[in-house]
Amino acid sequence: MADRRKDVIRETDAEAIRLAKTLIRSARFGALAVIEPGTGSPLASRVGVATDLDGTPLILVSMLSAHTGAILADPRCSLLVGEPGKGDPLAHPRLTLVCRAARLERGSSEHARADRRYLNRNPKAKLYAGLGDFSIFRLEPERASLNGGFGKAYLLERADLVTTGPIVEELAAGEQSALDHMNADHSDAIAVYARHFAKAVGDGWVVTGFDADGMDLALGDDVCRVFFPQPLRTARELRHVLVDMAKTGRVAD
């Protein structure tokens, strides 16, 4: 049986890792599965999703909800992301992450960053994010299962999904000012990123987040992911990469 299972699992390559990261970074919501206290039964619920700079999923949940009580009692959980399109929903990519939930304490630098990034991605959540019974959790990935469509199954490790090293804190220090600058002064460049690199349509795209691998764009409820040609090694490279990508896109157009 084990040998038969190995036969259907493909070797994890760069393309699979990029698809998995795209599914995580592009998710606006997901299905959170937890262990119900007292019964040990599985319990699933829909939650809003964003990502921290390192790629770790973030959720903002009410302390009154059943799934929040469950992850406080037992942090083991699973998150399913990936939206189905037309036709057979099982023909579309999806990613299941096996995680451990960690609540972020208000007033901490980690909470401030996560709160900022979550609200950049989900601005409507500003209506309730500040209420006392809402908390942000990081869903620390331990491993993941990627189904890229029929016959495209992969197993991924934490290292395939989460960025580590000084680049994370370096980017965090200047991310919001870079976002504000780009969205206020360079909407033309953002339009190029969306049109040329993400093949997205529509006007008025904004950047909601930068990370070492790329950037997240949003237009209302629509989101798209744009990867940099190469991952950033230092935060100082961000400006040069954005300028070069805008030039490349304009030439191609």
DSSP 84-145: --SS-GGGS-EEEEEEEEEEPPTTSHHHHHHHHHHHHH-GGGGGTTTSTTEEEEEEEEEEEE
Same domain? 155 vs 216: no
Q: What is the pLDDT of residue 18?
A: 97
Strand order in the sheet with 222-227: 206-210, 214-219, 222-227
Regarding whether 208 and 97 lie in a shared domain, the answer is no
Cα–Cα distance, 225 to 216 (Å, whole number): 5
List phi, psi (to 5°) of 134: -105, 140
90 and 100 assigned to the same domain: yes
Q: What is the pLDDT of residue 3?
A: 53
The last residue of a domain, from among 122, 147, 162: 162
Ranges of residues in the chain whose predicted pLDDT is under 50 = 1
Q: What is the pLDDT of residue 5?
A: 54
Residue 251 lies in a domain: no
Cβ-in-10-Å burial (0-12, 13-18, 19+) of 98 comes to middle
Would you say 78 and 67 are in contact if contact means Cβ atoms under 8 Å apart? Answer: no
Check whether residue 130 and residue 140 sit in a common domain. Answer: yes
Contact yes or no for 98/142 (Cβ under 8 A): yes
Residue 196 per-residue DSSP state: I
| CA–CA separation, 22 and 177 (whole Å) | 24
Amino acid identity of 143? R
| Distance in angstroms (rounded) separating the CA atoms of residues 191 and 245 | 12
Q: Tell me the Cα Rg of the chain.
A: 19
pLDDT at position 87 is 85
CATH number for the domain that contains residue 44: 2.30.110.10
Q: Which of 136, 162, 188 is the last residue of a domain?
A: 162
Helix (H, G, I), strand (E, B) or coil at 35: strand
Of 87, 83, 84, 61, residue with least CA distance to 72: 61
Note the pLDDT of residue 88: 86
Q: Which residues contact 131 (CB under 8 A, 6 or more apart)?
A: none
pLDDT, position 1 = 44
Nearest to 47 by CA among 86, 77, 17, 85: 77
Domain holding 45, by residue range, is 1-162
- pTM value is 0.94
Cβ 20 vs Cβ 156: under 8 Å: yes
Q: What pLDDT is attached to residue 185? A: 97
253 in a domain, yes or no?
no
Q: Are residues 73 and 155 in the same domain?
A: yes
